[in-house]
């Protein structure tokens, strides 16, 4: 069965509210073509709107996460006009922004090739677990391009000094090095990647959904706002609202009563610890 017949994106949501998006173009190492970009953006928006979804995971089928831009699509775009190329790039920009600003926690489980746009997707996720066989690369300059649309997200993830090295050199970055520079949080043996992901999911499910959303929003606020009187007042207001919110009251009551809060999800027949 060819990629044309098979769905290019697999989407599922389990009983716990864990949504899984899997790029399904293994014959092309899950490279991003316009159809996959648009479909992934739409899927993320659907999941964002679902109250029962608490976590979104991203992975790739066939042993690779994402090899970046699809070569056939890039060959076609090379013959198109500036305006058509700009529209195509804006589709990818829309995907990156949607993933980056998703209100629900996002977890990338990556292995094999993580190139170009795949690195951008990783940089937009909240938590990244890499198999020890994962290889990251910002290879754009090797074919006369630059990591433009993904650049701001990758630059933020790895910092200006590392960006200047890897944007310019297009070196392949082993999983351990990717962890050291900030592209990944954890490196696990390939056969243990799923188990490592399950532990992170358990931890996320143990947290209050509304609090998780607000904590994520705070990270964006801190990145753009200096520590000053306005920020101090804003954060004092936010914690006061949180303490008096239904989630805050339930969480504190559960702590005092030594019981699980209402949002706690049982996984594998046990309470999440």
Residue 41 lies in a domain: yes
Residue indicated by tokens 């949501």: 13
pLDDT at 269: 40
The pairing of strands 186-188 and 106-110 is: unpaired
State pLDDT tens for residues 130-143: 999 999 999 999 99
CB 1 within 8 A of CB 38: no
Do 144 and 260 share a structural domain?
no
Any residues with CB less than 8 A from the CB of 143 and at least 6 apart, and which? Answer: none
Whether residues 112 and 92 fall in one domain: yes
The mean pLDDT value for 226-230 works out to: 96
Do 186 and 254 belong together in one domain?
Answer: no
111 part of a folded domain: yes
Q: Assess if residue 1 is contained within a domain.
A: no
Residue 4 in domain:
no
Q: How confident is the model at residue 15 (pLDDT cuts 50, 70, 90)?
A: very high
Q: Do residues 157 and 45 both lie within one domain?
A: yes
19 in the same domain as 47: yes
In terms of domains, do 223 and 126 share one? no
DSSP the chain: --TTTS-SEEEEE-TTSEEEEEE--GGGTT-B-HHHHHHHHHHHHHHHH-TT--EEEEEEGGG-SB-SB-HHHHHHHTTS-HHHHHHHHHHHHHHHHHHHT-SS-EEEEE-SEEETHHHHHHHHSSEEEEETT-EEE--GGGGT----SSHHHHHHHHHHHHHHHHHHH--EEEHHHHHHHTS-SEEE-GGGHHHHHHHHHHHHHTS-HHHHHHHHHHHHHHHHS-SSHHHHHHHHHHHHHHHTSHHHHHHHHHHHTTS--TTPPEETTEE--
- Are 80 and 181 found together in one domain? yes
Supply the pTM of this predicted model. 0.93
Claim to verify: residue 122 and residue 249 sit in the same structural domain? no
Of 173, 204, 235, which marks where a domain is finished? 204
Asked whether residue 171 is assigned to any structural domain, the reply reads: yes
Nearest C-alpha neighbor of 129 from the set 65, 50, 214: 65
Tokens (6 digits) for 9: 């994106």
Token pair for 106: 């996002």
For the stretch 56-97, pLDDT in tens is 999 999 999 999 999 999 999 999 999 999 999 999 999 999
Domain stops at, among 149, 183, 204: 204
Q: Are residues 63 and 181 in the same domain?
A: yes
Tokens of 44: 């993320």
Q: Is residue 71 part of a domain?
A: yes
Each residue of 149-171: pLDDT tens digit? 999 999 999 999 999 999 999 99
Domain count, the chain: 2
**Strand pairing class (172-174; 135-137):** antiparallel
pLDDT for 247 equals: 95
Beta-carbon contacts of 37 under 8 Å, excluding residues fewer than 6 positions away, are: 91, 92, 95
Instruction: Identify whether residues 108 and 51 lie together within a single domain.
Output: yes
Q: Which domain-ending residue is among 163, 185, 204?
A: 204
CB crowding 106-145: b at 16 or more within 10 Å, else e: bbbbbbbbbbbbbbbbbbbbbbbbbbebbbbbbbbeeeee
Q: Which domain holds residue 57?
A: 9-204
Residues 87 and 213 reside in one and the same domain? no
* Domain shared by 168 and 240, yes or no: no
Residue 203 has pLDDT above 50, yes or no: yes
Kindly state whether residue 60 falls inside one of the protein's structural domains: yes
Q: Is residue 218 domain-resident?
A: yes
Q: Where residue 258 sits, what CATH number does that domain have?
A: 1.10.12
């Amino acid at each position: 069965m060819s990629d044309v017949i098979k769905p290019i994106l697999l989407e599922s949501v389990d009983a716990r509210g864990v949504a899984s998006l899997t790029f399904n173009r293994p014959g092309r190492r899950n490279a991003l073509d316009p159809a996959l970009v648009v479909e992934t953006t739409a899927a993320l928006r659907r999941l964002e709107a679902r109250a029962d979804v608490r976590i979104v995971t991203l992975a790739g089928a066939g042993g690779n996460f994402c090899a970046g831009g699809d070569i056939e699509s890039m060959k076609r775009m090379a013959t198109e006009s500036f305006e058509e190329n700009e529209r195509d790039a804006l589709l990818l920009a829309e995907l990156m922004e949607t993933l980056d600003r998703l209100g629900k926690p996002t977890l990338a489980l990556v292995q094999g090739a993580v190139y170009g746009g795949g690195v951008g997707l990783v940089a937009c996720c909240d938590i990244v677990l890499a198999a020890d066989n994962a290889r990251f690369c910002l290879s754009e300059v090797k074919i006369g391009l630059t990591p433009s649309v993904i650049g701001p997200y990758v630059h933020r993830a790895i910092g200006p000094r590392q960006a200047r090295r890897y944007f310019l050199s297009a070196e392949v970055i082993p999983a351990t090095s990717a962890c050291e520079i900030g592209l990944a949080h954890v490196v696990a043996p390939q056969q243990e990647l799923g188990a490592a992901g399950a532990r992170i999911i358990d931890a996320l499910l143990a947290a209050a959904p509304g609090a998780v959303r607000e904590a994520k929003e705070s990270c964006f606020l801190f990145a753009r706002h200096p520590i000053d009187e306005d920020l101090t007042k804003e954060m004092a207001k936010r914690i006061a609202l949180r303490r008096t919110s239904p989630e805050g009251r339930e969480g504190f009551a559960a702590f005092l009563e030594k019981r699980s809060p209402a949002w706690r999800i049982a996984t594998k027949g046990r309470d999440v610890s």
